């Protein structure tokens, strides 16, 4: 009993996230969720992906949702190249139009309004990304918290960190002050690869933007190629969010969630 009381008294609190980090985090989170929600509604209008500059029903697609209505129960398939998987019950169909079931159209769906919502959330995210990048540089958080240190990128350290994640191991003690190497890599990938790519590919799909900067077509290989890359980046961001939330529960939802609201993080001592 005495050891338990001593362990509790050894808990420490410190300011883990300054106010700019917390504000930008929640604004970005809201913008990204809105983008994913509205983006999948828009995707449902034409659930096929192409490569090149043109794409339409009847043209060869590199990936698509297909509905087989030859039997009483509609069979849904996800087709990627020559590979096909049955997704009946996961994907659905409105009349003859396949859709991602969890992102089905709302009853009062309007394409113009949804597209405007998508663009608004996108520009909010762009502004947030610019300010967050400035904050990372000016505060030193990019160098001190995000960039891997010497030795962290060794195969041995990467393997150890990966196994710790597979074992759902919760980090305690002073080690909890810092991000692990897989966190650092994923944050850097989202901040400096996925978000810039999703922005540029989104702009490539805009007629007004590509009229002024047709070089975007050369960079991404056409409007439909940009659309495909835009979808892939959105899917990877969705995957990142799912893993991020799962890891949040593993690491301690209340402690980490509170830290992103109040800034204060509690270091739980290691078990003796």
Does any domain span residue 92?
no
Does any domain span residue 178?
yes
pLDDT of residue 102: 59
Does any domain span residue 82?
no
pLDDT of residue 103: 63
Does any domain span residue 117?
yes
pLDDT of residue 58: 79
pLDDT of residue 272: 45
pLDDT of residue 5: 42
pLDDT of residue 150: 85
pLDDT of residue 172: 76
pLDDT of residue 230: 96
Grouped pLDDT means (10 residues each) for the chain, 272 residues: 46 84 94 92 87 86 83 80 84 64 66 89 95 93 91 89 82 79 94 95 91 92 95 94 90 88 84 54
CA distance 158 to 181: 7
Instruction: Give the CATH number, domain containing residue 241.
Output: 1.20.950.20
Q: How many domains does the chain have?
A: 1
pLDDT of residue 89: 75
CA distance 102 to 94: 13
Does any domain span residue 41?
yes
Domain encompassing residue 238: 2-46+108-267
Q: How far is CA 221 from CA 53, 81, 143, in A?
A: 7, 19, 35
Does any domain span residue 75?
no
pLDDT of residue 134: 94
Q: Hey, how many other C-beta atoms are within 10 angstroms of the C-beta on 194?
A: 17
Contacts 24+ apart (CB under 8 A), 157-166: 157/181, 158/182, 165/247
pLDDT of residue 98: 64
> Could you tell me which of 198, 42, 27 has the C-alpha nearest to residue 114?
42
- Asked if 91 and 65 touch (Cβ cutoff 8 Å), the reply is yes
Does any domain span residue 56?
no
Does any domain span residue 55?
no
């Amino acid at each position: 009993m005495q050891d338990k009381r001593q362990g509790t008294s050894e808990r420490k609190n410190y300011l883990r996230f300054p106010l700019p980090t917390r504000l930008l985090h929640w604004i970005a989170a809201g913008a990204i969720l809105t983008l994913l929600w509205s983006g999948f509604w828009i995707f449902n209008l034409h659930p096929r992906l192409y490569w090149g500059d043109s794409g339409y029903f009847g043209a060869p697609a590199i990936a698509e949702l297909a509905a087989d209505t030859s039997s009483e129960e509609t069979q849904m398939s996800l087709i990627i190249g020559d590979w096909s998987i049955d997704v009946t019950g996961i994907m659905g169909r409105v009349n003859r139009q396949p859709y991602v079931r969890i992102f089905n159209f709302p009853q009062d769906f309007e394409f113009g309004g949804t597209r405007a919502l998508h663009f608004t959330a996108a520009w909010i995210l762009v502004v947030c990304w610019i300010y967050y990048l400035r904050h990372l540089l000016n505060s030193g958080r990019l160098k001190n918290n995000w960039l891997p240190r010497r030795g962290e990128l060794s195969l041995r350290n990467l393997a150890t960190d990966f196994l710790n994640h597979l074992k759902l191991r919760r980090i305690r003690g002073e080690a909890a002050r810092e991000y692990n190497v897989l966190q650092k890599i994923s944050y850097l990938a989202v901040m400096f690869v996925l978000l810039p790519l999703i922005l540029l590919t989104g702009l490539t799909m805009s007629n007004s933007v590509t009229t002024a900067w047709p070089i975007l077509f050369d960079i991404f290989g056409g409007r439909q190629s940009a659309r495909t890359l835009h979808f892939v980046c959105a899917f990877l961001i969705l995957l990142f969010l799912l893993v991020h939330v799962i890891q949040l529960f593993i690491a301690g939802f209340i402690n980490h969630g509170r830290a992103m609201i109040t800034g204060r993080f509690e270091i739980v001592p290691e078990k003796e």
